[in-house]
Chains A and B, each alone.
Chain A
């Protein structure tokens, strides 16, 4: 566990320290208009949707799956949410709850769709979720009629832009989802079930675990997380854009999970690692903008950081580069991880 989280934390700290080098006030948090403001809060706030999607993705990847549909679910959820409240105005909270209800309903439905394909029909996850990735964006555009829909309804914009206890409201949503996920997976046997299904579904089934339902459940959870992320995103910009909302989120989320030390081969997962991974990606983006590097280079920097993190986590790489003495140590360490 320690070795898995060590490099991600180091990388995150390096990225944050690079910022300090360019901006002396990077770590300062001030009170402005009654809210806490500062770059760190900003990273948390802007990273909220990615954090949510990544938390859901972690559980999916732990079962040796992958959910490529999350970006499209974000687009669909945003479209449905914005559509529901598009006519609403004033202070009545009814449209808000209708919107939230609909979004949750739709995202759970997409999760069930993916989950049934994977667990009941036995389709490879990457293909099963590819369907929704391709078709979902089309459906989102169908809902918004290809237009960018604008919302003029304050309670809706509160979800992504509002504040609670001087902090952005979206941070609380992430914290709640993270808390629920951690409690369910670490305080109940659920986490163990997920890991065992990810390691060997057949063996898990033989030992009495309903692996099909576990699979179904993780996809529903991932869909739900993506739905809430879509709600936050569309509320944040007070509009829905079927074309671009949540574009490439699935890839960022998978990266966050991998950077966080969860293997794409399933098995042991690290929710905290994922959170750090998502924060790395978000701070990287923020850093690139704040340092004044041309946004064009954003992708190149991202690619290089991803490769560095993945290489540092690869036992083969450490063996080859750090050689003899360290190799023995890493081997022992990785053994310890797989056993624990």
Chain B
């Protein structure tokens, strides 16, 4: 009996998130004409493909009990590197894309090493990474670099029909592939299990003989890679590289992951939840666009309120599962 209850309470944040999304979609559909359409729904994916990819990487970091503040800057840096290599160095996309992807991966790897080997706080190390990546952007160029290249325009403007006159973009497909891969890794691979174990208790993971050091470094490398991939998708979306791109995105990402039901203490949560979290942030924006008269700052207030609701919900669940069973295994 306890087991059934525990399973329910574990899924509750995710169910609540999905429920909230449906409620908001119905609310929008009733209030605004033209809101209820498949394309509006698909646009959520098109406009937030990059955010989904970052959120997936961030989910692993938060599951392990860490935090990555550098994601927004790495997106900016990747867009800058891609733009500068394409426009200034005139390199072919075959070289540009892998090089740009390496940027975040290497940065993530270095941050992971610092966190693991020198026992520094993830918060501080990724904060330094954030400063560094933003600074490097400005070293490349202070101005925005507009990309004018066949490959990038192709990636940006190609519409893939999905029936009924609706379409998605190539970025959405990339994002979905990342999500599927991440779900597989999180739930069916050794690495995924290690991440959950690490978030549950680093001490126990160490005593169990799990490769804590390797896992930790890999987590930040994966997050860095995801940020860079998101940076590429963002570059397709904006068709430019700029040092101010994705300013403050790290907090949106953390908000999406939290709204998606992942505990910030680590150890519990789902990749799928983060995707729904991103969609909720997206639908808030859409509602505000449809409303027309609401100013953009209401977005911030709405996200803040939602965060509050979900955090309190999480607390209630954790408190309940603690009273239900005394063992540590609850999350």
Interface set of A (CB-CB < 8 Å, partner B)? 66, 117, 121-124, 126-128, 130-139, 141-142, 146, 242, 251, 254-255, 258, 264-265, 294, 296-304, 306-307, 310-311, 314-317, 320
Contact = CB atoms under 8 A, between A and B. Distances in A.
Interface residues of B, number: 45
Contact of B138 (A124, A127, A141, A297): A297
Given A141-B295, A258-B124, A303 B129 contact: yes
Contacts of A121: 312, 315
Interface in B113-155: 114, 117-121, 123-125, 127-132, 134-136, 138-139, 142
B251 interface: yes
Q: Select the residue from B117, B258, B300 with max chain A CB neighbours within 10 A.
A: B300
Given A146-B297, A264-B121, 17 more contacts: A123-B312, A126-B123, A131-B304, A132-B304, A133-B251, A134-B255, A135-B300, A135-B301, A135-B304, A138-B297, A141-B297, A254-B123, A258-B121, A258-B124, A297-B139, A300-B132, A310-B125
Contact of A128 (B117, B123, B132, B311): B311
Q: Select the residue from B117, B127, B319 with max chain A CB neighbours within 10 A.
A: B127
Nearest to A311: B118
A134 B251 contact: yes
Contacts of A133: 251
Q: Select the residue from B120, B124, B297, B312 with max chain A CB neighbours within 10 A.
A: B297
Contacts of B69: 251
Interface in B205-245: 243
B178 interface: no
Contacts of B295: 141-142, 146
A306 B315 contact: no
B192 to A, nearest CB: 23
8 contacts: A121-B315, A123-B315, A127-B307, A131-B311, A138-B299, A297-B139, A311-B114, A314-B120
A131 B124 contact: no
Contacts of B297: 137-139, 141-142, 146, 242
B265 interface: yes
B49 interface: no
A112 to B, nearest CB: 15
Given A126-B67, A133-B251, A264-B121, A302 B131 contact: yes
A130 B251 contact: yes
Contacts of A300: 131-132, 135-136, 139
B53 interface: no
A303 B135 contact: yes
A331 B308 CA distance: 42
Contacts of B134: 299
Nearest to A308: B128
Q: Select the residue from A127, A133, A137, A314 with max chain B CB neighbours within 10 A.
A: A127
Given A124-B265, A314-B118, A320-B117, A306 B305 contact: no
